[in-house]
Structure 1
């Protein structure tokens, strides 16, 4: 019995050695040692560079390739094949026979057909094969193929349309600002300061930590997550504050101040990052774009305040239809952004999803806890957590497109889009839970200056009783 066990053990060890040895022998036979078949040969583009740009297209495109320093003195019969590292991005089928080489030392130059499938980066390499298939060598250097998306007219139309819808939203929000409450917020800026600190200190630190946990091998994706956390929330946070019965005045004030302060905070953070973490990345701040966005936001809010002062009836109308109107605008903006950048969802991975998931959740919980610890009211704490955790997808997309080339920017767009969508879903879940348990009530009775109720389903379902003589009429309350 003992001998059988020893025999089985010996046989198992022998089989393991065979399994480990055969592949090595096979690889050494097939791959061979570089330079044995046709000497020390190499490849390059005809332009002399090491990168070439193509676009995604159903039509065949061509790459001008040069194979040079080929030694024909060995007399071996061989042929070359051109390959792409990632066939999901591009496919290449090209075979070059020995008879096609010319000169001494021999060389070949010509156009290699490439079929592109998806944007991204892939390498082109060349292999040389002996005709009997006994040996194969790979080119010592690869060439980078950059595959970009074609520029589309609808993206430019989207940019202008989204800007107009966003300004219209802030115009309406400016019309519901309470100047007295706004004055109190400015004179006692405790809540605004907490919102500023959680947005520009807490959230970036959370993003850096999540980047190291989930995206440690992808420098561009870590930077995309950081930009997503650093960007001011925007109008969607104001709409969420309205639906969740937060302090709308504080929400708009925080959004405005954070947008203006981004002109100073963005360069400061980028300076810190380039000196410590992203040392090999060239980052720049699009000052003109940020300044233009902040100025447009302030002007839209100011115009809304002027309309309220000179046209008070217009303000009442805005109050009545603020929720459905701004909700429709927000959904249009989100739908347009996701629709235009739908190609980015092919880059979504489990790690990207987890990083985008934890960013708004941790931001909401930590900012709410900090606000309560610093003795903010329930309405202000809720508003600060909304401002911190509702993520903007427009600003980080702009920053990524400014810092990276087109292809790298396209590869990283999935991070801000996913994080922003998750933050919106989180707000919808919170709103649903609050409505189910009867918790979605005004925590601050003075959050709105007007007592005009915002339009809601409860308003629509209310009935009025009118008595004329001995007859009572019941009319469903109209919201129009």
Structure 2
């Protein structure tokens, strides 16, 4: 009985404390989002309201102090006030690194609990801190040059595409169908699954998802060639996926993409316009190839050096303007791992699907390259131009991660494969030379044998002739 009374007393005390604390209301000014640049400071005002006269102890702090910190009077006892009074405080926010965090408001019942950081009540607040990188004109230049590079590559692809080859491939459409299913059903679902498994923040999850929805990239054609795949099928699949991206990317963004809009606003109209703008050069290249083949031949020769120069510029500007990406990789392992898991899972999925469709190995390799090697440059341009900051910088992190992790393993595979083939070819050449030598020796032996036989036959004939002549003389 005594224990029950003591338990009831504890419950009543806790209820009284919660009731007391619940009468405190802390609000931040609308819209509740404070933007500050890295290594810069800004002031935010807080209003504390209470329905009763009391002394309370409040502590303000950033939820993630690697993004921002609060300076000044962040831990303070609030003076007593009369009924229905209010207090206004000012806090100084310092941006540390790119990202988004919230302000935690913790309420303590008395000074002892406050000083020992004991039992407390976390009050809901509507304040978000967004830390932005300082505006850099070179970043805009980087996005513009990257857009130009993508346009040139797509235009050059249109110039080189042979529609007759595409028609021939479509006569047996199993490979393109498997590739399309892996590209626009498998990859978006894989990307979405890993955003949920890794529990990525909305902006980064959106970046990974958009990267998974991108069409096959131009480098997939190169890798198909280097790995002895079907280059014609590769170009056909790139044409199909690039054309289909006009409808498939918005489709996925309007469906599963809605899952990432709790803190991120997706400008669907801007994204659709950007997709169409990036693909127009490809259709222009196809028209030029069809109606002015001589001009197409000249332009094809001119596109290659221009593309090479612009790619070098993009690499330089990209590294210079996106060094923050490597800091984020070091800060949270999920970003780089997520960027790696999506394409590598795509390799496995497309390989299994291609073998399931009973396709030959050289076409399996092609579909694997087309599925997993995506044109993440499109994602970077779309997100960089369409989203507000800091979402644009955060979302592009995942697209950059996908573009960085795919080439190294492929280069290693190519080197091992090249060494293996050369060694095998060398051994095969040696075996072939040895066999040829044996055959030559055998032929020479046969020739000598035939020569000896002929000589023996001649000798026999000679001997027979001599014997015949002697016999004739004796007979005479």
SS of residue in 2 equivalent to 1:33: helix
Q: What is the correspondence of 1:20-99 to structure 2 with a 5 Å cutoff?
A: 33-34=17-18, 40-45=23-28, 47=29, 49=30, 51-69=32-50, 71-72=52-53, 80-95=58-73
Residue in 1 that maps onto 2:280: 295
Cα 1:79–1:223 shift into 2, 3 Å: closer
Cα 1:253–1:70 shift into 2, 3 Å: same
**Mapped partners of 1:279, 1:56: distance in 2:** 23
Cα 1:105–1:122 shift into 2, 3 Å: same
Alignment partner for residue 345 of structure 1, among 299, 323, 326? 326
Residue in 1 that maps onto 2:461: none
Residue in 2 that maps onto 1:8: none
Q: Offset of 1:328 from its aligned partner?
A: 6.4
SS of residue in 2 equivalent to 1:86: coil
Alignment partner for residue 178 of structure 2, among 185, 194, 202? 194
Cα 1:334–1:306 shift into 2, 3 Å: farther
Q: Offset of 1:200 from its aligned partner?
A: 1.0
Residue in 1 that maps onto 2:222: 239
CA contact (8 A) 2:151 2:281 kept: yes
Q: Deviations over 1:193-221 (max 9, x none)?
A: 33212211222333344445x32475655
**Mapped partners of 2:341, 2:104: distance in 1:** 40
**Mapped partners of 1:193, 1:326: distance in 2:** 31
Cα 1:238–1:333 shift into 2, 3 Å: farther
Q: Deviations over 1:124-159 (max 9, x none)?
A: 244567895455755633342231313332222112
**Mapped partners of 1:66, 1:279: distance in 2:** 29
**Mapped partners of 1:241, 1:110: distance in 2:** 63
CA contact (8 A) 2:228 2:362 kept: yes
**Mapped partners of 1:152, 1:380: distance in 2:** 45
**Mapped partners of 1:120, 1:357: distance in 2:** 22
Please identify the structure whose Cα radius of gyration is greater. Answer: 2
Q: Deviations over 1:63-90 (max 9, x none)?
A: 1222222744x5x6x7654332222222
Residue in 2 that maps onto 1:464: none
**Mapped partners of 1:62, 1:42: distance in 2:** 20
**Mapped partners of 1:131, 1:369: distance in 2:** 64
**Mapped partners of 2:255, 2:27: distance in 1:** 39
**Mapped partners of 2:77, 2:357: distance in 1:** 78
Deviates more, 1:370-379 or 1:151-160: 370-379
* Structure 2, unaligned runs of 5 or more: 1-9, 425-476
**Mapped partners of 1:383, 1:245: distance in 2:** 9
Residue in 2 that maps onto 1:14: none
Alignment partner for residue 206 of structure 1, among 181, 190, 198? 190
Residue in 2 that maps onto 1:469: none
User: Between Structure 1 and Structure 2, how many residues are aligned?
Assistant: 401
Alignment partner for residue 258 of structure 1, among 236, 241, 251? 241
CA contact (8 A) 1:125 1:143 kept: no
Cα 1:165–1:278 shift into 2, 3 Å: closer
Residue in 2 that maps onto 1:168: 152
Residue in 2 that maps onto 1:119: 98
Q: Offset of 1:332 from its aligned partner?
A: 4.9
CA contact (8 A) 2:157 2:282 kept: no
**Mapped partners of 2:213, 2:130: distance in 1:** 29
Does residue 391 (structure 1) correspond to residue 369 (structure 2)? The answer is no
Q: Deviations over 1:39-68 (max 9, x none)?
A: 9322212x3x26222122333211122222
**Mapped partners of 2:51, 2:422: distance in 1:** 78
SS of residue in 2 equivalent to 1:118: coil
TM-score, normalised relative to structure 1: 0.69
Residue in 2 that maps onto 1:364: 347
Q: Deviations over 1:19-40 (max 9, x none)?
A: xxxxxx9xx99xx935658x93
**Mapped partners of 1:370, 1:98: distance in 2:** 65
CA contact (8 A) 2:57 2:108 kept: yes
CA contact (8 A) 1:274 1:282 kept: no
TM-score, normalised relative to structure 2: 0.69
Cα 1:403–1:132 shift into 2, 3 Å: same
Residue in 2 that maps onto 1:374: 357
**Mapped partners of 1:336, 1:172: distance in 2:** 23
**Mapped partners of 1:400, 1:202: distance in 2:** 22
